[in-house]
Chain A
Amino acid sequence: MVDLQARQAWAAAAAVLDPEVPAVTVADLGILRSVEIDVNGRAIARVTPTYSGCPAVLAIELAIEVALIKAGFDPVIERVITPAWTTDWITEQGREKLRAYGIAPPVMGSSSKRALFGDVVVACPRCAGQNTSKLSEFGSTACKAHYRCNTCLEPFDYFKCI
């Protein structure tokens, strides 16, 4: 019984979309860490921020709370910061959704010291071209950098690797 409830609560919370990248869910991004039902029947959802200063954290927590209430649960949202979120937690499905949305998913293990002068290849999410250049180390949100494809000439966001 409790197990079924936990699954239902997870399904409700996991379907919440990221407010800044509405192509992916909080589960796809790996920021919804767990949902369990405690002894008092409350749904405990644990959420971790991507960046310390991510301004979307509060909106995400509220959206998960609302989703759980709508699904008939009595939610408690807990913010956890350990272990620290990493882009490696973005699911394979999440990476594909990002790409389809026009955002290049993080290149695994690319958080090197001097990546600015070009030791990482980020493929264009539109034409899959490998010849791309970084326009800006920081993009429209804390989690993205800005690139341009030199093949199809389209600019695109890159979900940077941490």
Chain B
Amino acid sequence: MQKATFLALIRLADDHLILGHRLSEWCGHAPMLEEDLAMPNIALDLIGQARALYSYAGEIEAAGRDEDALAFGRIEREYQNLLICELENGDFAQTMLRQFYFASFMLLLWEQAQRSSNTILAAIAAKAVKEAKYHRRHCGEWVIRLGDGTDESALRMQAACAVLEPYLAEFFQVDEVVLEMSKNSILPDPLSLRAAWLADVCEVFGAAKIAPPDLSHAHKGGRKGRHTEAMGHLLAQLQYMQRSFPNMTW
């Protein structure tokens, strides 16, 4: 049980850290100043949420690993994030679409997790749900604006849909860790969130004039530590300082 809770926390924390890191890569490169502020702001929220999750995971594991050891001190195979989080950013449309998918999913998950039988996780969720709501709104409006915008922006958004579509079903994958969490009312079974998530996505896609996503094919492996080629490159940058100067502090 403690082992499953530890793994569930690590998965969530890895999703947030890796996606937060990807978003932070936009800092100084966004197409306009407003988005240059927005993306690092969202990244900060995600990394803040990851910190809370890693710290708690470290306490549960009780093996002396703190948030930094968990965030920076593991090898690629030990990270259990969803593959969609580690993919390269692509263009602005692809970045916003991914962020919308993720925020919409996390909003549903955090809403349920606020009532978790685990009070610490419930507290983290109560804080994160407000942030996810803001992210979902911001990114959803961009999906609409680009999808139903100019010919160029519509093409970009359609291309982004095609790139990300095979990574969506992994959100809803069920395994023994997920079942253990839902059985004990610690975290919801992601499969139970699928219909609500799809409804939310379809509402935004309807306004954006985009066809609903097809979830029948899925790349999987993130939850087992099997990653895409992008992951090693990401970790090389993310872990550089701690690998060069172990246990360094600012």
* Residue ID in chain B nearest A87 by CB atoms: B130
- Nearest CB of chain B from residue A139's CB, rounded to whole Å: 7
- Nearest CB of chain B from residue A88's CB, rounded to whole Å: 12
B137 & A84 in contact (Cβ 8 Å cutoff): no
Contacts of A146 in B (CB 8 A): 34, 37
A52 & B49 in contact (Cβ 8 Å cutoff): yes
B231 interfacial by beta-carbon distance below 8 Å: no
B38 interfacial by beta-carbon distance below 8 Å: yes
Using a CB–CB distance below 8 Å, which chain A residues touch chain B?
Answer: 49, 51-55, 81-86, 111, 113-117, 135-140, 142, 146, 160, 162
Q: How many residues of B contact A (CB 8 A)?
A: 29
A84 & B45 in contact (Cβ 8 Å cutoff): no
A51 & B131 in contact (Cβ 8 Å cutoff): yes
Across the A-B interface, how many residue pairs have beta carbons closer than 8 Å?
81
Task: Pick the contact of A140: B37, B45, B51 (CB < 8 A).
Answer: B37
B123 & A51 in contact (Cβ 8 Å cutoff): no
Using a CB–CB distance below 8 Å, which chain B residues touch chain A?
Answer: 33-34, 37-38, 41-49, 51-52, 119, 122-124, 126-128, 130-131, 133-134, 137-138, 141
* Residue ID in chain A nearest B33 by CB atoms: A136
- The list of the 10 closest CB pairs from A to B, nearest first, reads A53-B48, A52-B48, A53-B44, A82-B123, A136-B34, A138-B38, A138-B41, A84-B126, A84-B127, A162-B130
Contact residues of B: prevailing secondary structure:
helix
7 contacts between A and B (CB under 8 A): A52-B127, A55-B44, A81-B126, A111-B130, A111-B133, A137-B34, A139-B37
Contacts of A160 in B (CB 8 A): 134
A83 & B44 in contact (Cβ 8 Å cutoff): no
Contact residues of A: prevailing secondary structure:
loop
Contacts of B128 in A (CB 8 A): 52
* Residue ID in chain A nearest B119 by CB atoms: A82
B49 & A81 in contact (Cβ 8 Å cutoff): no
* Residue ID in chain A nearest B145 by CB atoms: A116
B138 & A53 in contact (Cβ 8 Å cutoff): no
Give the CA-CA distance A159 to B43 in the complex, in Å.
19
Contacts of A82 in B (CB 8 A): 119, 122-123, 126-127
B34 & A135 in contact (Cβ 8 Å cutoff): yes
- Nearest CB of chain B from residue A109's CB, rounded to whole Å: 13
Contacts of B130 in A (CB 8 A): 84, 86, 111, 162
A51 & B45 in contact (Cβ 8 Å cutoff): yes
Q: A82-B126, A137-B38, A162-B131 are in contact. Are A53 and B137 (CB under 8 A)?
A: no
Contacts of A84 in B (CB 8 A): 123, 126-127, 130
